[in-house]
Amino acid sequence: MAFQRSSLVLASMLIASLASGEGARAAEPQVPVLWDAKERLPKPDLSALPRLRFLTTTDFPPFNFLDAAGKLSGFHIDLARAICAELGIVDKCQIQALPWAELEGALEKGEGEAIIAGIAATPQSRQTYAFSRSYLQFPARFIMPKGEALTEPLFAKLRGKRVGVISGSAHERMLRDYFNTVQVVTFDRPEDLYANLKAGKIDAAFGDGMRFAFWLGGSDAAGCCRFAGGPYLAPEYLGSGMAIAARSDDPALAAALDYALQEISLKGTFAEFYLRYFPVSFF
């Protein structure tokens, strides 16, 4: 019964199922698609909008940062510009960087219309902001040594395996709840988790797919490992992902952002940005 229950839950969590045809497509980078092409959102009329000022920070690479020339760059910067182009208001758009602690106050004082800086859409933050729909989510993933990486379905194949995870994290709770046949090995630091995986002291690691992707593509991993199985999205553990925040009294702007974000996704522009900044896909 435990196997059946976990299999059903995990099947619902494994979205955009990369498990099907995984072997044939292993070499192809996967791009998350969070929009239903059959749902076409209405194009907003923003002719009365005097300006659209996006507020962000400079210390959240690869989303927003200063490049070698001191120019504001990153995934969020490209996305904001694409949104303005899609809405036909390029001449009304600005992007301003502030310290993280000043973002909320600047929005409240009317010094900007939207924050694109990774503010999590939670029940608490929804009392303060009107959010767009999520444009990027962060799945949990398994990583394993290259020669031993397993494919879906993973539940039975991982039985008895030693799986490392960061102690006290949402990923630990998720691992214990839905992969309850593994031997959970907890670590306080990611560096220790990675070192034990490389040394063969654990069979797999479970955690944030984006952080794993950066490690896999970096020099420290030295090509030792790869993703195993598919991405798992579980909002009850991992949150609903990234969204753009507008003032709570401006739901019309949030709806306009939804339209632009969907068009950017359907036209392939989002995929271009994603692969530019995340060459090792975490989906």
Full-model pTM: 0.86
Asked, for residue 47, whether it belongs to a domain, the answer is no
Asked, for residue 283, whether it belongs to a domain, the answer is no
What's the confidence (pLDDT) of residue 29? 64
State how beta strands 140-145 and 225-232 pair: antiparallel
Q: Which residue has the tokens 């600005």?
A: 94
Query: What are the pLDDT tens digits along the chain (283 aa)?
Result: 343 334 434 434 444 333 334 443 445 568 898 898 889 899 999 988 999 999 999 999 999 999 999 999 999 999 999 999 999 999 999 999 999 999 999 999 999 999 999 888 888 899 999 999 999 999 999 999 999 999 999 999 999 999 999 999 999 999 999 999 999 999 999 999 999 999 999 999 999 999 999 999 999 999 999 999 999 999 999 999 999 999 999 999 999 999 999 999 999 999 999 999 999 999 9
Q: Do 167 and 155 share a domain, yes or no?
A: yes
Asked, for residue 40, whether it belongs to a domain, the answer is no
> Is the separation of the CB atoms in 13 and 232 below 8 Å?
yes
CA distance 216 to 151: 18
Asked, for residue 41, whether it belongs to a domain, the answer is no
Residue type, 83: I
Q: Do 65 and 152 share a domain, yes or no?
A: no
The distance between the two most distant Cα atoms of the chain, rounded to a whole number of Å, is: 62
What's the confidence (pLDDT) of residue 5? 39
CA distance 7 to 36: 25
Asked, for residue 7, whether it belongs to a domain, the answer is yes
* Domain of residue 232, CATH code: 3.40.190.10
Asked, for residue 160, whether it belongs to a domain, the answer is yes
Asked, for residue 66, whether it belongs to a domain, the answer is yes
Residue in 201, 130, 216, 103 with CA at minimum distance from that of residue 161: 201
Omega before residue 153 within 30° of 0, cis: yes
Provide the domain limits for residue 82.
52-136+240-277
Q: Do 187 and 233 share a domain, yes or no?
A: yes
Q: Do 13 and 147 share a domain, yes or no?
A: yes
Q: Do 162 and 132 share a domain, yes or no?
A: no
Residue in 83, 31, 15 with CA at minimum distance from that of residue 244: 83
First to last CA, the chain: 29
CA distances from 141 to 87, 130, 190 (A): 35, 30, 14
Q: Do 186 and 259 share a domain, yes or no?
A: no
Structure tokens at 250: 């401006």
Q: Do 244 and 132 share a domain, yes or no?
A: yes
Residue type, 71: K
Q: Do 226 and 90 share a domain, yes or no?
A: no
What's the confidence (pLDDT) of residue 89? 96
What's the confidence (pLDDT) of residue 20? 37
Q: What does DSSP assign to residue 146?
A: G
> For the chain, what is the domain count?
2
Residue 194, φ and ψ in degrees, nearest 5: -65, -40
Residue type, 264: I
Residue in 207, 160, 210 with CA at minimum distance from that of residue 180: 160
In sequence order, which residues have a C-beta less than 8 Å from that of residue 149 and are 6 or more positions away? Answer: 143, 225, 226, 227, 228
Residue 196, φ and ψ in degrees, nearest 5: -70, -35
State how beta strands 93-97 and 52-56 pair: parallel
Residue 257, φ and ψ in degrees, nearest 5: -65, -35
Structure tokens at 68: 């070698």
Q: Do 132 and 250 share a domain, yes or no?
A: yes
Asked, for residue 183, whether it belongs to a domain, the answer is yes
Q: Do 115 and 191 share a domain, yes or no?
A: no
Structure tokens at 129: 């902001």
What's the confidence (pLDDT) of residue 24? 38
Strand partners, 154: none
